[in-house]
A and B are shown apart, each in its own frame.
Chain A
Amino acid sequence: MADIPLRDEGASPEGSHDLPAPLFVRSPTDRVLTGVAAGLAARFGMDPLVIRLGFVVLALAGGAGIVLYAVLWLLSTDGAAPAPVKLAPDAAVRRLIAVGLMVTGALLLLRAAGIWFGDALVWPVMLAAAGSVLIWTRGDADERARWSRLAARLPGRPVQTVLTGPVSVLRVLGGGLLIVAGMGAFLAAHDALAAARNVLFSVAVTVIGIGLVFGPWLLRLARQASEERRKRIRSEERAEMAAQLHDSVLQTLALIQRTDDRDEAVALARGQERELRAWLYGRAGTNDVVSAALDEMAGRVERLHHVSVDTVVVGDTRLDDKLRAVVDACGEATMNAAKHSGAKQIAVFVEIEQELVTAYVRDDGKGFDPNTVPEDRRGIADSIVGRIERNGGTASIVSAVGEGTDVEISLPRWTL
């Protein structure tokens, strides 16, 4: 059991045995209604069109096709369509004939059982559908190539040429003939029944006939158009991505190759990483949230002092004056730590709550004795504390020699 490759759906690999294995998988991409026809076609290696027309014909026979469709839908599962089975031309012909015979057999059965809309409707439609299949089934490209080579050498097998070759004059002619015959039979039958010739009715029949001839072609054309549009969008995205990568990432990689200084290389890489992340996760240009402003600050310090600054924000929100003051104070504290502590890593943590914002800037550096603070550090410390106190909060600096430094900031978000 352990050797069975696992799919990611379903936590337990054995779980899938609880349900009976589905008959086939509906196609998620090629679908007119729910993908049943394309799924079946892929399962049996046929053109979906054949299956679809089979359903249409059976639907006209007292609605049997609709019931059959529903049952098949229930027996199948939704998901990735399996790759269509490739068949030799001979096998393809055999399958086509088999489906034709199955549909015919089903029709005769339904007729005998009395589930029937009438000969005048079903048989002409059947004929027309067969014609449509003949015109519009496609062999895949290499099958066609193989077949055309074969056909050139062995001209004596016209049936296969007609059934599996590409859309050729012969096929269009044969298919068109069948469709016309079907329409004619339909009109003739209704002429005999209805004394009055209904012009509108024959127009409708003609339209349906044209639909059978050109419909699949139009459908295919529409599909190609939408496929092309998707491709164009993809290539535009790629162009934008290439521009972005060229402007930033490639430039940075070039710089990294040219530098001998490891710290410089690390700083360049970190700065680029930060920028790329912001771009990838769609935050470029939205500098009005706390995390973005803090990241920008961290990037600045990293570039200047070759340290790494990690920022964590809890309860991220839009900047306002108070939050801006906290970010600026953090920036000063970080810069201070980068200059004096000797630590390679600085951690900034900001937690924003409804009423209060707290922030911590911490380094693992050499620290200092608060009683004997060097004058240059005193000044910066005062400026951090002063900035926060002016905004109605408190700030304190905790440090001891050899223990690193913690700057703790706490600021009420609203003043009364």
Chain B
Amino acid sequence: MDTVNASEIHVFLVDDHQLFLSGVRSELGPGFIVDGAASDVDAAINEIRQTQPEVVLVDVHMPGGGGAAVISAVLTTHPETKFLALSVSDAPEDVIAVIRAGARGYVTKTIAPDELAEAIRLVHSGDAVFSPRLAGFVLDAFGTDGAQVVDPDLDRLTNREREVLRLIARGYAYKQIAKQLSLSVKTVEAHVSAVLRKLQLSNRYELTRWATERRIV
């Protein structure tokens, strides 16, 4: 992506592990301003409302409701805030929960610093960020599709979206996917955003059930 973003991105960090907070702080190079950090749910909600950052990096697992609680509370008052979820967990029910609460993306904490920076930029510009594993979850959840679809327009993934997700699951970056499928990067991003929307709006109860049943990491 050609990031001619002259303005710096304001970032807020939410994590109950101090070590991780300071790690991310030092890793985020120029181009980012860390507005603040919080290590529990209530403090995070208050401080995000006060500082109004552009992108919030939020840990999935925290005492007091976890990242999902922070996301849904802040989005009720500040719907323009973008959230990127981070976790070591990778458990489907957690990942699906933060996405459905309104996170624009999900990455694992083992992500390389430059990839994290790119993920923040993507989320900031309104795109979605899927880790390979999240793409796998989504394919799994929407994959074994029987006849009973609640809302056909919303729930079914198009073949193109499926192809894009497969490539993400295979470890391709958006740019490589675009090349592979002879699409523009913008189109690839649009497909991923569409999948994210379906994931967030889909009301099929099977999605939640599927996520809780599969405690396989």
Contacts and interface: CB of A to CB of B under 8 A. Distances in A.
Interface string A357-378: 0001010100000000000000
B77 interface: yes
B76 A314 contact: no
Interface in A343-393: 345-347, 349, 351, 353, 360, 362, 364
Nearest to A6: B73
B5 interface: no
Contacts of A282: 215
B215 A312 contact: no
B169 interface: yes
B65 A314 contact: no
A145 B75 CA distance: 51
Given A13-B73, A349-B166, A351-B166, A310 B217 contact: no
A11 interface: yes
A288 interface: no
Nearest to B108: A310
A316 B216 contact: yes
B216 A349 contact: no
Contacts of A312: 132-133, 135-136, 169-170
Contact of A313 (B46, B65, B136): B136
Contact of A281 (B49, B72, B135, B217): B217
Contacts of A281: 91, 215-217
Interface residues of B, number: 30
Contacts of A362: 170-172
Nearest to A12: B76
B45 interface: yes
B42 A6 contact: yes
Given A8-B64, A277-B217, A2 B46 contact: yes
A271 to B, nearest CB: 13
B136 A349 contact: yes
A134 to B, nearest CB: 43
Q: Which of A2, A349, A406 has the most C-beta atoms of chain B within 10 angstroms of its own C-beta?
A: A349
A86 B46 CA distance: 32
Contacts of A11: 72, 76
A252 B64 CA distance: 31
B181 to A, nearest CB: 14
Contacts of A283: 216-217
Majority secondary structure, B binding face: helix
B140 interface: yes
Interface string B119-133: 000000000000011
Interface residues of A, number: 32
Contact of A347 (B42, B45, B170): B170
B24 interface: no
A310 B133 contact: yes
Contacts of A308: 110
Q: Which of B144, B166, B169 has the most C-beta atoms of chain A within 10 angstroms of its own C-beta?
A: B169
A315 interface: yes
B31 interface: no
Contact of A310 (B65, B69, B171, B172): B171
Nearest to B139: A314
Q: Which of B42, B64, B172 has the most C-beta atoms of chain A within 10 angstroms of its own C-beta?
A: B172
Interface string A1-32: 01101101001110000000000000000000
B103 to A, nearest CB: 15
A6 B45 contact: yes
A108 B143 CA distance: 70
A291 B171 contact: no
Contacts of A349: 132, 136, 166, 169-171
Interface string A287-299: 0010100000000
A289 B215 CA distance: 14
A310 B112 CA distance: 14
Interface string B74-97: 001100000000000011000000
Contacts of B215: 281-282
A171 to B, nearest CB: 43
Contacts of A278: 217
Contacts of A345: 171
Interface in B112-170: 132-133, 135-136, 139-140, 143-144, 166, 169-170
Nearest to B69: A8
Given A6-B42, A281-B91, A349-B166, A314 B136 contact: yes
Interface in A234-254: none
Contacts of A289: 216
A61 B49 CA distance: 56
A156 to B, nearest CB: 50
Interface string B31-63: 000000000001001100100000000000000
Interface in A303-347: 308, 310, 312-316, 345-347
Interface of A: 2-3, 5-6, 8, 11-13, 277-278, 281-283, 289, 291, 308, 310, 312-316, 345-347, 349, 351, 353, 360, 362, 364, 406
28 contacts: A6-B45, A6-B69, A8-B64, A8-B65, A8-B69, A11-B72, A11-B76, A12-B76, A13-B73, A278-B217, A281-B91, A281-B216, A283-B216, A289-B216, A310-B133, A312-B135, A312-B169, A313-B136, A314-B136, A314-B139, A314-B140, A314-B169, A315-B140, A316-B216, A347-B132, A349-B132, A351-B139, A360-B170
Given A11-B76, A310-B171, A362-B170, 11 more contacts: A8-B65, A13-B73, A281-B91, A281-B217, A310-B133, A312-B133, A312-B135, A312-B136, A345-B171, A349-B169, A351-B166
Task: List the 6 closest pairs (A to B, CB-CB), nearest first.
Answer: A347-B171, A312-B136, A8-B65, A349-B170, A314-B139, A312-B169
